[in-house]
């Protein structure tokens, strides 16, 4: 029994030391390479990072999610409708989505670089864009959570891009970031599948970690990109069993192509 207690203590100490070392390293790197002095899209020095984390030149070419958009999923709409065709045909488990950019051209390249090339410093700029886009609605949330990864996938990528983004949003908005969900097993990459395949691919793969943490809470769910809403919907479905309401946010909204439109479910 004594040996077991010592082993548990030793494991907790090691985890605490790893966390402390990680925080020290992150703070040191931020000191040497400040993430808040350069445009997140081209790297030019700017002096207005916290007002807008991009230079004037990039600002003229970026795909901002402005104009008429679906009031539920935030997809750009070409006509005068207030809800897109997909949201009219399918029930969502989240109340609203917030996506400041459209996933194309320079925005697409930048987000892929963030995920694949391990450019973690971009998360702060993305978070600023999201919080500004959400505006006063940020006060409606009790906590922030994120789309989880399995240990295997996180080991491959070395970090969870949605979690890092959520942590930066939490710092700006002064909201707690809570691990609410776990991913039970790995699946095929969503980008390789059509809409129906995406729904089947993520069916029952998420589960709630601790229902007491989210009971009657208003939750902001974070992902990096929203395309078909399949992933955030699967997460929101589990959270909605106990939470009061769920809204989603991402850096960018990937506009659906006609071939991904769905029939009424």
Rounded CA gap, 234 and 85, in Å? 20
pTM above 0.85?
Answer: no
Q: Could you tell me what percent of the chain has a pLDDT over 70?
A: 76
pLDDT at residue 152, as a whole number: 82
Rounded CA gap, 127 and 251, in Å? 8
- Distances in Å between the alpha carbon of 95 and those of 18, 191, 196, 214, 229? 38, 24, 22, 16, 12
Burial class (CB in 10 A: 0-12, 13-18, 19+), 224: buried
Averaged confidence pLDDT in the chain:
85
Tens-digit pLDDT profile for residues 187-243:
656 555 555 565 556 677 899 999 999 999 999 999 999 999 999 999 999 999 999
- Residue bearing tokens 């539920």: 72
Rounded CA gap, 59 and 48, in Å? 13
Higher pLDDT, 34 or 199: 34
Tens-digit pLDDT profile for residues 55-113:
999 999 999 999 999 999 999 998 889 999 989 988 899 999 999 999 999 999 999 99
Residue 11: pLDDT band (50, 70, 90) is low
pLDDT at residue 261, as a whole number: 44
Q: What is the mean pLDDT of residues 108-131?
A: 95
């Amino acid at each position: 029994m004594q040996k077991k207690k010592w082993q548990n203590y030793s494991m907790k100490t090691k985890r605490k030391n790893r966390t402390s070392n990680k925080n020290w390293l992150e703070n040191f790197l931020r000191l040497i390479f400040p993430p808040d002095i350069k445009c997140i899209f081209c790297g030019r020095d700017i002096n207005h990072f916290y007002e807008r984390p991009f230079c004037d030149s990039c600002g003229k070419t970026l795909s901002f999610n402005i104009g008429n958009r679906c009031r539920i999923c935030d997809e750009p709409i070409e006509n005068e409708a207030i809800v897109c065709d997909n949201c009219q045909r399918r029930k969502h488990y989240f109340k609203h989505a917030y996506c400041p950019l459209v996933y194309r051209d320079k925005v697409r390249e930048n987000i892929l670089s963030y995920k694949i090339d391990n450019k973690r410093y971009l998360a702060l700029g993305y978070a600023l864009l999201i919080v500004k886009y959400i505006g006063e609605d940020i006060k409606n949330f009790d906590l922030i959570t994120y789309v989880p990864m399995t240990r295997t996938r996180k080991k491959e990528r070395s970090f969870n891009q949605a979690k890092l983004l959520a942590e930066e949003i939490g710092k700006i908005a002064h909201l707690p970031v809570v691990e609410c969900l776990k991913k039970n097993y790995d699946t095929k990459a969503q980008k390789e599948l059509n809409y129906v395949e995406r729904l089947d691919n993520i069916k029952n793969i998420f589960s709630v970690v601790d229902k007491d943490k989210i009971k009657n809470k208003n939750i902001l769910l974070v992902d990096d990109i929203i395309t078909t809403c399949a992933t955030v919907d699967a997460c929101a479905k589990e959270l909605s069993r106990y939470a009061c309401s769920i809204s989603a946010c991402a850096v960018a909204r990937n506009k659906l192509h006609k071939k991904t439109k769905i029939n009424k479910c």
